[in-house]
């Protein structure tokens, strides 16, 4: 790995790097094509120091499953069982917690109103997105992997394009949510529920970034490669 390599390649090579990028608020999923050097410079960070820190990470430093060796079909199953299951449990739970904190603290913290609105928009974006993946795109990927049909390969282009666009929109909402929540640092007068809300929102951001990374930077490129092979003369 080199300091001029794309940010996404560091996470693809070692998923433990995602934790560092989350801490530094460096986008490794939707905006992961930017080089590490440029990403650090944009944030006013010492690129050489961050690069050294990433190089010192051990692959075992993260509990995150290494998915680099999975087939596309296996990867879709992993995404559903890990990230989809998490979101289906977390989003309703966070809706209830957000409302509780809003009712108790919004008079002193007006930023909770737009934060709640952005979260609701994010949930409205993610829930139908999961259904599209589970009912349309992922079964199509499994079929094309099993049958290796060129027609099926090309048929995946449209859904993948839609998924990438929705990933971009979710990424924008996550960044807006982080800004409104002061990088998930609860205010000094925040109760235990307030602190829990911010911790859970941080976890939501982290999991969704990994979710998007696995699709944008591992799954979709693998499908593109299969298309090229299937259409080669």
Helix (H, G, I), strand (E, B), or coil: what is residue 207?
helix
pLDDT, one tens digit per residue, over 191-209 is 999 999 999 999 999 999 9
pTM of the prediction? Answer: 0.79
| Weakly modelled stretches of the chain, pLDDT under 50 | 60-62, 232-233
What is the reported pLDDT for 148?
A: 61
pLDDT, one tens digit per residue, over 46-81 is 999 999 999 988 654 445 677 878 999 999 999 999
Query: What residue ranges do the domains of the chain occupy?
Result: 7-61, 72-231
Helix (H, G, I), strand (E, B), or coil: what is residue 6?
strand
CB-neighbour burial class of residue 153 (10 A; exposed 0-12, middle 13-18, buried 19+): buried
In the DSSP assignment, the letter for residue 223 is: H
């Amino acid at each position: 790995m080199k300091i001029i390599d794309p940010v996404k390649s560091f996470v693809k090579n070692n998923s433990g790097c995602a934790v560092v990028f989350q801490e530094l608020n460096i986008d490794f999923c939707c905006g992961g094509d930017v080089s590490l050097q440029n990403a650090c410079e944009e944030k006013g960070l010492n690129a050489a120091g961050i690069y050294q820190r990433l190089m010192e990470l051990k692959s075992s430093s993260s509990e995150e499953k290494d998915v680099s060796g999975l087939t596309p079909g296996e990867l879709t199953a992993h995404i559903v069982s890990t990230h989809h299951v998490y979101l289906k449990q977390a989003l309703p739970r966070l809706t209830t917690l957000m409302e509780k904190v809003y009712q108790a603290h919004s008079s002193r913290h007006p930023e909770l109103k737009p934060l709640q609105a952005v979260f609701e928009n994010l949930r409205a974006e993610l829930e139908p997105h999961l259904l599209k993946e589970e009912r349309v795109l992922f079964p199509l990927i499994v079929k094309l992997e099993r049958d290796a049909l060129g027609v099926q390969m090309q048929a995946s282009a449209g859904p993948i394009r839609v998924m990438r666009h929705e990933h971009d929109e979710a990424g924008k909402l996550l960044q807006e949510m982080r800004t409104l929540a002061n990088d998930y640092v609860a205010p000094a007068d925040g109760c235990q529920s307030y602190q829990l809300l911010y911790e859970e929102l941080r976890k939501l951001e982290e999991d969704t970034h990994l979710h998007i990374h696995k699709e944008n930077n591992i799954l979709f490129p693998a499908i593109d490669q299969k298309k090229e092979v299937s259409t080669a003369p």
